[in-house]
Amino acid sequence: MKIVVIGGTGLIGGKLVARLGEHGHQAVAASPNTGVNTLTGEGLADALAGASVVIDVSNSPSFEDAAVLEFFETSTRNLLAAERGAGVGHHVALSVVGTGRRPDVGYFRAKLAQEKLIEDSGIPFSVVHATQFFEFAHRIADEATVDGSVRIPPVRFQPIAGDEVAQAVGRTAVGAPLNKGVEIAGPEQYRMDEFFRKALAAWGDPREVVTDPKARYFGAEMRDRDLVPLDGATLGEITYAGWLPDNPAK
């Protein structure tokens, strides 16, 4: 089966292309690096020719509210139009947990707009909502650093390994369209400030983690359950402690 992975040279996309190829599928990595640009439409028709499934794991280069909304609306419209022309039978998108609960958050609002376009497209679809990836923990800590201290809110946090995100998205892609969203998360739930206190200690990072209920994440203050799944989510098996020894680099 030909499966086109939009964002196929990125963190999750690269894992997906490799995993799908190992299972005998013709997995095509589509990104600006390979001559496919969903914002301009360049290369889309050629890339999607003969495809049964399209997986969109692309992300906006900017998280500024207007820019991220423009990215997801424009790229998704172009992609869905090309899929109609190619007769694609299953559109799979990777989104984030919490989009429907916090439409006031710019990034979540943009992902929600993307999901709405997919639902209204008439193309059979599946949306996989994932919690934050282990791979981005260092970046989160760096962006939360103020005057040398890492300021983190005491909300619930349930990150997941990128490998398990790719596994879940891949399994969804080769199955029948769900025509709904599903949630995936890591096996352990933490308080976010406690997770980063333990993580920085494990990294040998001397920065102090300060518990700050007003600290912002995705540009907004988070409520207690905004970043964790509802009941019924599929949980991974890889713990952060088990993942870290093989992934020590920032």
The model's pLDDT over 66-114, given as tens digits with 9 standing for 90+, comes to 999 999 999 999 999 999 999 999 999 999 999 988 888 999 999 999 9
Spatial distance between the Cα atoms of 63 and 43, rounded to a whole number of angstroms: 25
Distances (CA, A) of 75 to 39, 170, 209: 5, 21, 37
**Which residue is associated with the tokens 């820019």?**
67
Query: Which phi and psi angles does 90 have, rounded to 5°?
Result: -155, 120
Once rounded to an integer, what is the mean pLDDT over residues 146-159? 97
The domain spans of the chain are 2-246
pLDDT confidence band for 249 (50 / 70 / 90): low
Prediction pTM value? 0.95
Spatial distance between the Cα atoms of 227 and 204, rounded to a whole number of angstroms: 26
Q: Tell me what pLDDT residue 233 has.
A: 96
The third-level CATH classification (topology) of the domain covering 2-246 is: Rossmann fold (3.40.50)
Q: Tell me what pLDDT residue 226 has.
A: 94
Give the dihedral sign, CA 80/85/88/90: positive
Question: Residue 250: pLDDT above 70?
Answer: no
Per-residue pLDDT tens for 195-237?
Answer: 999 999 999 999 999 999 999 988 889 999 999 999 999 999 9
Per-residue pLDDT tens for 171-182?
Answer: 999 999 999 999
Q: Tell me what pLDDT residue 133 has.
A: 97
Once rounded to an integer, what is the mean pLDDT over residues 235-250? 91
Q: Tell me what pLDDT residue 227 has.
A: 96
Spatial distance between the Cα atoms of 20 and 26, rounded to a whole number of angstroms: 7
Per-residue pLDDT tens for 4-56?
Answer: 999 999 999 999 999 999 999 999 999 999 999 999 999 999 999 999 999 99
